[in-house]
Amino acid sequence: MPDLEPSRLHAEAIQALAEAQLTAMGSALTCYLDQVPREPTFPYVVFWSTPGTPVFAAERMRGWGQDIETVTQATIAGLTPADVLGGVDRLTLALHRRKPTIPGRQVGDFEVDGVAARPGRDPIPTPGGQEVFTTVLFFRLMSSPASTT
Span 4-61, pLDDT tens digits: 688 889 999 999 999 999 999 998 899 999 999 999 999 999 999 988 887 765 445 5
48 Cα distance to chain centroid? 7
pLDDT category of residue 147 using cuts at 50, 70 and 90: confident
Q: Examine the pLDDT at 122 and tell me if it is beyond 90.
A: yes
Total residue length of the chain: 149
Write the single-letter amino acid at 12.
E
Give the mean model confidence (pLDDT) for residues 109-115. 86
Q: For position 132, what pLDDT does the model report?
A: 98
Q: For position 109, what pLDDT does the model report?
A: 81
Calculated CA dihedral for residues 102, 8, 135, 131, nearest 10 degrees: -120
Q: For position 1, what pLDDT does the model report?
A: 46
Q: Look over the chain and give the mean of its residue pLDDT values, rounded to a whole number.
A: 89
